[in-house]
């Protein structure tokens, strides 16, 4: 079964540094998402992306965050200047279509630790 893949599995960075989290969505999927899960808390929506542009973003997704689909397979999340509170598990997800007939498939996540 095809899967969403994410790299790296764990990223440690110092406060103020830039990080790029990488994702390869399922190949025939058209809709891409980033979610965040702070340890022990619920999964929170960050951003959705379709047709090379952001469709929707949450309050968490401020100017420090950006997403990009640099080629036909990768989908990246960049945090420009990391803060301690950015420490979390970041999940990429994709879906074939939008709407109720197309469930989200999550990757294994990247654990970001900001020191």
Partner 1 sequence: GENVEQHPSTLSVQEGDSAVIKCTYSDSASNYFPWYKQELGKRPQLIIDIRSNVGEKKDQRIAVTLNKTAKHFSLHITETQPEDSAVYFCAAKSPLSGANSKLTFGKGITLSVRP
- Out of 56, 74, 78, 83, the only residue in the binding site for partner 1 (CB under 8 A) is 56
Round to whole Å and give the CA distance between 42 and 74.
26
> Residues 79-108: x/- map of binding to partner 1 (CB under 8 A)?
------------x---x--xxx-xxxxxxx
User: Which two structure tokens, joined as six digits, stand for 32?
Assistant: 């891409």
Torsion sign, CA atoms 106, 107, 109, 110: negative
CB of 16 vs partner 1, minimal distance in Å = 27
Of 25, 5, 15, 4, the residue nearest 112 (C-alpha): 15
- Enumerate residues 6+ apart whose C-beta is below 8 A from 7: 22, 110
CB of 100 vs partner 1, minimal distance in Å = 4
- Out of 7, 17, 41, 74, the only residue in the binding site for partner 1 (CB under 8 A) is 41
Residue 50 in the binding site for partner 1 (CB under 8 A) = yes
Residue 5 in the binding site for partner 1 (CB under 8 A) = no
Residue 74 in the binding site for partner 1 (CB under 8 A) = no
Round to whole Å and give the CA distance between 85 and 53.
26
| Chain residues in the site for partner 1 (CB under 8 A) | 31, 33, 41-45, 48-50, 55-56, 91, 95, 98-100, 102-109
């Amino acid at each position: 079964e095809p899967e969403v893949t994410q790299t790296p599995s764990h990223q440690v960075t110092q406060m103020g540094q830039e990080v790029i989290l990488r994702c390869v969505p399922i190949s025939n999927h058209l809709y891409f998402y980033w979610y965040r899960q702070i340890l022990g808390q619920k999964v929170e929506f960050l951003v959705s992306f379709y047709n090379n542009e952001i469709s929707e973003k949450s309050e968490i997704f401020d100017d420090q965050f950006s997403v990009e689909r640099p080629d036909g397979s990768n989908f990246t999340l960049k945090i420009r200047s990391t803060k301690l509170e950015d420490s979390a598990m970041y999940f990429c997800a994709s879906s074939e279509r939008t709407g109720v007939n197309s469930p989200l498939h999550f990757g294994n996540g990247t654990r970001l630790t900001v020191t």
